[in-house]
Structure 1
Amino acid sequence: MFAIPLGEEGAELRPLEPWQAEEYLAHIDRGREFIGRFIALADVSADLASARSFLQLYADKAAADTGRIYGIRLDGTLVGGVLFRVMDTAQGTCEVGCWLEPAAAGRGLVTRAARVIIDWAVRERGIHRVEWQVASGNTASIRVAQRLGMTKEGVLRESVLYRGVRHDTEIWSVLAPEWTARHRTPAS
């Protein structure tokens, strides 16, 4: 399995796989309330069977080339992750998402991890448009989109019913030419 350093001592990005369901569930349990404020991930992984099923869903997506999931680790402990919720290589589009438990928040881990997977999608897979969908109240996630150089395209008003409350969803994106212009690889 590969591990990509995330620029902070002990921080790395690794694939998440179904065999890691127990560890993944323990991580979700540690951050369940924090993670669940804006995303259903905490509700989807309620027990070991549902956690394994969720990770299997992404293993199947990876096999079909329609999505992927990666864990963010800090000193060997799973503390969050990033994913391609959807990926359509024929259309050249994908949607990136993230989550983090509170103990790891505020360190830039999600921004660095998202940068790694977006760069891979654009440079290796030929993705032209990367989307970031976020509840308008999720200011931390909005700041990540901004740090990634994304453009706010609009707001889908009260588009998501989550835990009995309607939430606005902001759509942010970056296009491949914008991404490569901001993240040029130095000439060798």
Structure 2
Amino acid sequence: MFAISLGDDGAELRPLEPWQAEEFLAHMDRGREFVGRHIVLPDVVHDLDSARAFLRSYAEKAAADTGRIYGIWADGTLVGGVLFRTMDVAGGTAEAGCWLEPSAAGRGLVTRACRVIIDWAVEQRGIHRVEWLASAENGASIAVARRLGMTKEGVLREKYPHRGTRADTEVWAVLAPEWRAARTAGA
């Protein structure tokens, strides 16, 4: 298996696969309430079978070239992840997303991991547009979009039903030429 260093703090980005369902479930259990404030993931992953099924769905997406999922490990422990929830290689679009348990928050891990996967999508897969959808109430996710150089394109009012309420969804995106220009300027 491969691992990509996310910096000097020893954090790594690795594929997250069905055989890691127990570790994934333990991670979800540690961060269930924190992660679930804005996304449905902890409601979907509630036992070993559902953890395995969720990871299997992303293995199938990877095989079909329609999505990917990666875990973030810090000090040898799975603490979060990033993914392409959708990928349309022919159309040149992908939707990126993330989650993180509270013990790893505030360290820049998601931003660093997203830079890796967006670089791959743009440079290796020819993705032209990477989208980021976030609850308007999820300040941490919106901050990641800003740090990634994305542009806020609009708000989908009351689009996202979550735990009995409907939240506005902010739509952010970065285009391949913008991504490359920002990476060149930062190099």
Q: Distance in 1 between matches of 2:159 and 2:122?
A: 28
Give deviations 1:137-184, integer Å, cap 9, x for gaps. 000000000000000000000011111001000000000000000112
> What number of residue pairs does the alignment pair up?
187
Give deviations 1:53-98, integer Å, cap 9, x for gaps. 0000000000000000000000110000000000000000000000
| 1:68 paired to 2:61 | no
Give deviations 1:37-61, integer Å, cap 9, x for gaps. 0000000101000000000000000
Give deviations 1:120-140, integer Å, cap 9, x for gaps. 000000000000000000000
Partner of residue 116, structure 2: 116
Q: Distance in 2 between matches of 1:76 and 1:58?
A: 22
Q: Distance in 2 between matches of 1:186 and 1:168?
A: 32
Instruction: State the secondary structure of the residue aligned to 1:2.
Output: coil
Partner of residue 33, structure 1: 33
Partner of residue 158, structure 2: 158
Instruction: State the secondary structure of the residue aligned to 1:120.
Output: helix
RMSD (CA atoms): 1.2
Equivalent positions of 1:8-157 (< 5 A) are 8-157=8-157
Could you tell me which runs of 5 or more consecutive residues in structure 1 were left unpaired when the two chains were aligned: none
The alpha carbon displacement at 1:3 in A equals 0.4
Partner of residue 176, structure 1: 176
Q: TM-score, normalized by length of structure 1?
A: 0.98
Instruction: State the secondary structure of the residue aligned to 1:123.
Output: helix
What residue identity is the alignment partner of 2:180? T
The alpha carbon displacement at 1:9 in A equals 1.8
- Identical-residue share of aligned pairs (%): 74
